């Protein structure tokens, strides 16, 4: 449905060096798929979305929407945004303040060729408004609408033409936290119900995981990894991807065997790998929720990745706690529901399949602002 | 988002159908996107052409073999004592005008922005409306009152006071400078008030908190911070003054006190000899150079960003100085400006229009009151003038806004590399005196086009063109600041909805800009209606406007008739001013 091949765009400002907004991006979004572009600000995700919309012009590569080439650097094709037949929800919603709700939603319909009849337009507007729960609000002027209502009008406007592709640029970032959660659920169910192909930009990984069929994590104009939320969370191919999804224990180490790493915590059994040689410096990532706390029971049988430590501190966060466990001098974060005594000794276990190993030094490339 | 980076051309070697479809879409796109650059280029092209023709003509010398190029004109300008005198006069005139206008404008700006002057909210609109009163009207009033021989105020003073000679002489460089200065107070005030508002009140407040007394604060903090703003205003007003035409034309021309503008006028349209176009070109080129130098200084002083400066109404204001009883003096200063500009001239002209000859009001004089002057007005002539003025009033603001929209859209909304250049060109008429453009158009019609085409006899078209060109700065400044305030995603949503650039402008930008458009339209309509300078330079039999008719009556010595006609003119203008005041109130003071 959306095929992006080798897309690149550079910005050059007078007197400054070239900034690669997009390096060489390849993305394929299947029909009906909900695809999220996730990344920190400046990662190129919005530029990519704007290239698809036609609001930004790439320097090279190709974009094909529903079989139609809308941009091709080689063939010198550029279809302007008004002829791409898209729906788009903007970050500011971009509700035209001089028009009523009806006029806002109807305007894209009036531009359709062949022309639609008046009755048909009214009917389609009503249908679109019903989809977003604004039945009967056609005549309302727009400046007085709340943020949530504006958001819905924007959604209705982008859906009214039944576009092949729906683009959304951080549509929830201007809503307060509770409303955001509510609208997120609605967007998810609407997209599933209409079976519409959606390309969605956000910097919020929770939003991405809840909404997406697939996610592409972007960083400095590159796609680091794309896949389902589960793949990205559990099997990050890049430390920056791991960093992006929640907090992580980063432990430096050295390959002792092809499935074991010597670290400050101890010798850690890790998934088998042929790509690293014994003796390589590596960094190991372990999610706090994967650190199991095992109350000391005399006579317990030592298992694989079983370490002893001491509970140093405890942060209560309502639905869970985060403990700092000192293991071999290393402060290991553990996330759990259980309650253990601060100051006491404890055992921890780290399941081998949950450990990710990356090339040493690669973590330093992560800008500190990238985590969320 | 304008697709300035769009790739053109079709790739060959792909399927013919694909190439054809791509070609078709390119054509459609080109047609849709053509009108904006076209309008912008034509308008700004005229700006350049008017200036180029002046420079070209300034180097043209007539000799036996025809036209050759040389610096003879400049040499003549330099050696001719008459010319030297005119330039010297201009310097004195402009100097006096600057001193007078700022001596009033700075205190008034302070009163309106930084004190508790009761009703200070009225100062801005009152002075803006004063700005609209034509300066030829004011000048006529002052001549009637303070002519050394026949001025009725002078005569009255001689009768009342133990003096033998007229105390005031407005028919002098200082007198002309005074009237010009008084007429420019509103403009200077608007610019300085803007600097007061742009100043962060916290800077003054911190001085206050640290125990610095009022006058020290004024001297050490407020004035130094305002210096760039005031200096900028001085340079801008100076550029206007040195080319001012209205007041020198009313007061000086018939009394042989020439400034630059009237010198060019008499050289261009001499009564006896053949006009010396080369000399007009050379003197205008010199003025252009002076104007550009002043502008260059102005740009440095103000900083480039000032061009977009919009006066923002800050929510929190500086601590206002409590005037107490001094408020009376404050209003006296503001009142003086209004009295000098509007009330005195209005009274003088009304009186003169109702009596058969100039005399001091007295019981005997009241016996002679008559409406004969109004009956003697050549109404048939006036009807033609009114028609022309109304045509200007309707077409000039409309065309200026169309052209301004095209330029501003390219400047603000496209990332076209040339956009910055367009913006600078559109700014030029703001700083180059209108007179120069009128001279450019005059020379263009005479020198570039064969006389038999009679571009001058073609009526009002050339006046419309020049007016539009000179208004393009104001239109683009207003529209630039308007467009900047419209979130670009509103446009983008329009593109995604299937509107092309023209559709976005029509359906989204114009409705959202409508308050700005209405205000700007009214302002430019009023200026077009009252404009004398350019219309006088480009006057021909068929395109006389009302101000030109009034002025020619005046120079012909028919003072009483001219006064009567001027009153009719101001009466016609009043409803428009009221309309402007009602619709424009919210905008008054923005980006003048």
pLDDT at B455: 61
The answer, for A96 touching chain B at a CB cutoff of 8 Å, is yes
Size of interface A-B (CB pairs under 8 A): 94
Condensed to tens digits (0 to 9), the pLDDT of residues A137-184 reads 888 888 888 888 999 999 999 999 889 899 999 998 888 888 888 888
pLDDT at A370: 35
Residues in B lying within 8 Å of A, measured between beta carbons:
1, 3, 5-11, 14, 18, 22, 25, 29, 487, 489-490, 492-500, 503, 507-508, 511-512
Do B493 and A94 lie within an 8 Å CB cutoff?
yes
Q: Give how far A96 is from chain B: nearest CA, Å.
A: 6
- Alpha carbon distance B408, B428 (integer Å): 14
Calpha distance B179→B173 (Å, rounded): 10
A73 and chain B in contact, CB less than 8 A: yes
Residue A208 has pLDDT above 70, yes or no: yes
Tell me the pLDDT of chain A averaged across its residues. 87
When CB atoms are compared, the residue of A78, A96, A157 closest to B3 is A78
For an interface test with A, which of B16, B488, B498 has the most A Cβ atoms less than 10 Å from its Cβ? B498
| Longest CA span, chain A | 81
Total-model pTM:
0.81
Q: Which 140-159 residues of chain A touch chain B by CB within 8 A?
A: 154, 157-158
Nearest CA in chain A to B4: A57
Q: Is residue B3 over pLDDT 60?
A: no
Angle, helices B173-198 vs B223-242, to 10°: value is 140
Q: State percent of chain A over pLDDT 90.
A: 39
- Residues 6+ away with beta carbon under 8 Å from B352: B144, B152, B358, B559, B560, B563
Q: Per-residue DSSP letters for B431-499?
A: HS-HHHHHHHHHHIIIIIS-GGG-TTTTTTHHHHHHHHHHHHHHHHHHHHHHHHTS-HHHHHHHHHTT-
Chain A contact set for B5 (CB, 8 A): 57
**pLDDT-based confidence at residue A367 (cuts at 50, 70, 90):** very low
Residue A88 to residue B493, Cβ atoms within 8 A: yes
Mean pLDDT of all residues in B189-193 = 88
CA distances to A251, A255, A276, B94 from A258, rounded to whole Å, are 17, 7, 7, 90
What pLDDT is recorded for position A343? 87
* Residue A17 scores a pLDDT above 80: no
Minimum CA–CA partner of B33 in chain A: A80
Instruction: Tell me the per-residue pLDDT of A278-327, one tens digit each, with 9 for 90 and over.
Output: 888 888 999 999 998 887 666 666 678 888 889 998 888 888 889 999 99
Q: Can you tell me the mean pLDDT for B149-170?
A: 85
Q: A133 in contact with B at a CB cutoff of 8 Å?
A: no
The least confident of A87-101, A209-223, B277-291 is B277-291
Q: What angle do CA A367, A368, A372 make, to 5 degrees?
A: 110
Residue B142 has a CB neighbour count (10 Å cut-off) of 29
Least confident range of A111-115, A358-362, B478-482, B516-520: A358-362
pLDDT above 70 coverage of chain B, percent: 89
DSSP category for residue A299: T
Q: What is the mean pLDDT of residues B34-56?
A: 91
d(CA A221, CA A65): 21
Contacts of A62 in chain B (CB under 8 A): none
Q: Are B499 and A106 in contact (CB under 8 A)?
A: no
Tell me the pLDDT band of B419, cut-offs 50, 70 and 90.
confident
Average pLDDT (A337-346) is 85
């Amino acid at each position: 449905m959306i095929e992006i091949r080798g897309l690149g765009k550079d910005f050059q400002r007078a007197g400054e060096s070239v900034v690669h907004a997009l390096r060489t991006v390849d993305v394929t979004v299947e029909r009906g798929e909900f695809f999220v572009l996730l990344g920190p600000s400046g990662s190129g995700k919005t530029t990519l979305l704007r290239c698809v919309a036609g609001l930004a012009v790439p320097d090279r590569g190709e974009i094909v929407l529903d079989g139609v080439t809308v941009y091709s650097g080689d063939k010198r094709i550029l279809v302007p945004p008004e002829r791409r037949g898209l729906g788009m929800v903007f970050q500011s919603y971009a509700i035209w303040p001089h028009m009523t709700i009806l006029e806002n939603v109807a305007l894209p319909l009036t531009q359709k060729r062949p022309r639609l009849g008046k009755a048909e337009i009214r009917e389609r507007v009503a249908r679109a408004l019903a989809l977003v729960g604004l039945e009967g609000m056609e005549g309302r002027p727009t400046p007085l609408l709340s943020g949530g209502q504006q958001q819905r009008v924007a959604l209705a406007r982008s859906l009214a033409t039944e576009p092949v592709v729906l683009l959304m640029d951080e549509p929830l970032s201007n809503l307060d936290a509770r409303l955001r959660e509510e609208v997120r659920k609605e967007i998810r169910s609407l997209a599933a119900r209409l079976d519409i192909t959606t390309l969605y930009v956000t910097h919020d990984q929770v939003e991405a995981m809840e909404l997406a069929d697939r996610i592409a994590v972007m960083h400095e104009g590159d796609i680091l990894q794309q896949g389902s939320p589960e793949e990205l969370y559990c099997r990050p191919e890049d430390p920056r991807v791991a960093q992006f999804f929640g907090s992580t224990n980063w432990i430096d180490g050295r390959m002792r065997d092809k499935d074991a790493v010597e670290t400050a915590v101890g010798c850690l059994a890790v998934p088998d790998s042929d790509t690293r040689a014994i003796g390589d410096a590596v960094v190991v990532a372990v999610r706090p929720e994967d650190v199991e706390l095992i109350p000391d029971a005399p006579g317990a049988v030592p298992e694989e990745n079983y370490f002893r430590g001491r509970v140093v501190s405890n942060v209560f966060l309502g639905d869970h706690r985060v403990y700092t466990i000192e293991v071999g001098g290393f402060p290991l974060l553990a996330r759990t529901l259980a309650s253990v005594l601060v100051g006491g000794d404890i055992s921890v276990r780290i399941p081998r399949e949950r450990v990710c190993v990356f090339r040493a030094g690669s973590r330093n490339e992560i800008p500190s602002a990238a985590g969320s | 988002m304008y697709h300035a980076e769009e790739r053109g051309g079709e790739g060959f070697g792909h399927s013919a159908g694909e190439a054809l479809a791509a070609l078709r879409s390119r054509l459609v796109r080109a047609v849709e996107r053509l009108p904006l650059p076209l309008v912008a280029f034509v308008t700004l092209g005229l700006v350049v052409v008017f200036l180029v023709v002046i420079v070209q003509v300034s180097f043209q010398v007539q000799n036996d073999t025809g036209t050759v190029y040389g610096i003879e004109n400049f040499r003549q300008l330099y050696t001719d004592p008459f010319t030297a005198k005119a330039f010297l006069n201009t310097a004195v005139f402009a100097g006096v005008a600057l001193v007078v206008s700022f001596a009033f404008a700075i205190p008034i700006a302070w009163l309106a922005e930084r004190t508790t002057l009761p009703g200070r909210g009225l100062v801005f609109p009152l002075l803006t409306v004063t700005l609209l009163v034509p300066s030829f009207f004011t000048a006529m009033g002052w001549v009637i009152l303070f002519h050394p021989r026949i001025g009725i105020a002078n005569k009255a003073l001689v009768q009342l006071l133990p003096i033998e000679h007229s105390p005031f002489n407005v028919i002098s460089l200082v007198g002309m400078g005074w009237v010009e200065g008084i007429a420019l107070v509103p403009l200077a005030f608007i610019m300085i008030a803007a600097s007061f508002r742009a100043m962060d009140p916290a800077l003054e407040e911190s001085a206050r908190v640290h125990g610095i007394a009022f006058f020290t604060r004024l001297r050490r903090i407020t004035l130094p911070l305002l210096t760039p703003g005031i200096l900028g205003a001085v340079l801008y007003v100076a550029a206007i003054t040195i080319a001012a035409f209205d007041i020198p034309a009313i007061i000086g021309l018939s009394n042989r006190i020439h400034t630059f503008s009237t010198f060019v006028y008499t050289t261009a349209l001499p009564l006896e000899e053949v006009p010396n176009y080369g000399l007009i070109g050379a003197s205008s080129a010199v003025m252009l150079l002076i104007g550009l130098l002043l502008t260059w200084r102005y740009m440095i002083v103000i900083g480039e960003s000032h061009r977009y400066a919009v006066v923002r109404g800050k929510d929190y204001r500086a601590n206002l100085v409590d005037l107490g009883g001094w408020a009376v003096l404050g209003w006296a200063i503001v009142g003086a400006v209004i009295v000098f500009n509007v009330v005195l001239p209005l009274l003088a002209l009304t009186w003169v229009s109702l009596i058969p000859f100039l005399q001091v009001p007295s019981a005997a004089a009241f016996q002679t009151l008559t409406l004969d002057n109004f009956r003697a007005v050549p109404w048939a002539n006036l009807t033609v003038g009114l028609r022309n003025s109304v045509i200007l009033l309707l077409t000039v603001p409309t065309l200026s806004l169309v052209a301004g929209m095209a330029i501003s859209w390219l400047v603000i909304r496209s990332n076209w590399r040339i956009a910055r250049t367009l913006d600078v060109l559109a700014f030029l008429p703001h700083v180059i005196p209108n007179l120069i453009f009128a001279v450019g158009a005059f020379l263009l019609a005479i020198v570039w086009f064969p006389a038999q085409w009679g571009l001058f006899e073609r009526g009002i078209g050339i006046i419309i063109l020049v007016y539009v060109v000179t208004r393009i700065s104001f239109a683009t400044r207003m529209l630039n600041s308007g467009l900047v305030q419209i979130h670009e995603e509103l446009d983008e949503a329009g593109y995604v909805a299937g509107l092309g650039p023209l559709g976005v402008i029509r359906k989204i930008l114009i409705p959202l800009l409508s308050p700005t458009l209405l205000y700007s339209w009214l302002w430019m309509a009023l200026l077009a209606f009252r404009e004398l300078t350019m219309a006088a330079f480009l006057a021909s039999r068929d395109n006389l406007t009302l101000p030109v008719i009034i002025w020619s009556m005046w120079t012909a010595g028919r003072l009483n008739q001219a006064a009567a006609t001027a009153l009719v003119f101001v009466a016609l203008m009043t409803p428009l001013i009221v309309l402007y005041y009602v619709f424009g109130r919210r905008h008054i003071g923005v980006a003048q």
